[in-house]
Amino acid sequence: MKQVLALIGSIFFMVVLTAQPSYTQTNSRVLKTRGPMFITSASFFQSVTRIPYNIKLGEENTFQNGKKVNFSNMAISQFFGFQFNPYLALGVGVNFEYWTTKTGFVPLYVDFRGNMTEGKIAPHWYLNAGYATCWHIDSKPYPVKTGYTGIGTMYGIHGYTSGWMGEVGIGMKASISWASALLLTASGKIQESAFRYYSGPDLMQGVKPLVVNTNSHSLYISVGLKASVVF
């Protein structure tokens, strides 16, 4: 019995010891190198993509068109993870995104990130991938210019469906205490979704401007900046 208790005690001690944060002495500052990590971020992105869709003029004629999407999206995100060493951390994250097209997304994702060097100031990178659930702040279609001669304005909804997502960023990390730091990264993201619009013979006459009946599967690509606090 004593051997069993000793073994259990040894295992418990090893687990507790492993879970304790580790530190490194760098430039006369003690920095955390291992332990739980939490990151709160705010970001701003601008779309840089073109959405394809078909315009149907009558029963026989269908034209392929494309629309450069011009909208912004803002997000607040939270990362929950574990830092294994000065160079690598792994965790999960959640975003709350608002698109200026009156659409929102809530992505849940796996997040890999790390520093390229040790020190108070270090280059930082991250990569995440997951699935984003769509929610509509206003489900009514809004005017979208087609850019096609003779068509003018049509009606549609960007970001109509849920889908997978991915994001990558690179920037700088500045430590402000043993476990806290500030991050600023240039980031790019991709969101699978759809452009919902009306395609039919009545489009030119504008008889059904508020009817949407067609989905165009789309990949929305955006670039922007993300500011974060690590603690």
Block residue for tokens 């990264």: 185
Q: Which of 196, 134, 195, 189 is nearest to 165 (CA)?
A: 189
What is the distance between the alpha carbons of residues 224 and 73, in angstroms, rounded to a whole number? Answer: 9
- Which burial class, exposed, middle or buried, applies to 45 when counting CB atoms under 10 A from its CB (0-12, 13-18, 19+)? buried
**Full domain range(s) for residue 81:** 22-230
Phi and psi angles of residue 188, each rounded to the nearest 5 degrees, phi first: -135, 145
In a domain, 188, yes or no: yes
Q: What's the first-to-final CA gap in the chain, in angstroms? A: 43
Q: What angle do CA 79, 227, 160 make, to 5 degrees?
A: 70
Residue-wise over 166-196: b if at least 16 C-beta within 10 A, else e? Answer: bbbbebbbebeeebebebebebebbbbbbbb
Residue 10: inside a domain, yes or no? no
* DSSP code, position 113: E
User: CATH number of the domain that 99 lies in?
Assistant: 2.40.160.20
Residue 4 lies in a domain: no
More confident residue, 72 or 10: 72
- The domain total for the chain is 1
pLDDT digits (tens, 9 = 90+) for 123-135: 999 999 999 999 8
Predicted TM-score (pTM) of the model is 0.77
- In tens, the pLDDT along 39-50 reads 999 999 998 877
In the chain, where does DSSP find H-type helix? 2-19
Least confident of 25-29, 115-119, 179-183: 25-29
**Position 80 in a domain:** yes
Q: Which two tokens stand for residue 5?
A: 């208790």
Span 50-61, pLDDT tens digits: 776 655 544 444
Residue 3 in any domain: the answer is no
Predicted pLDDT of residue 145: 62
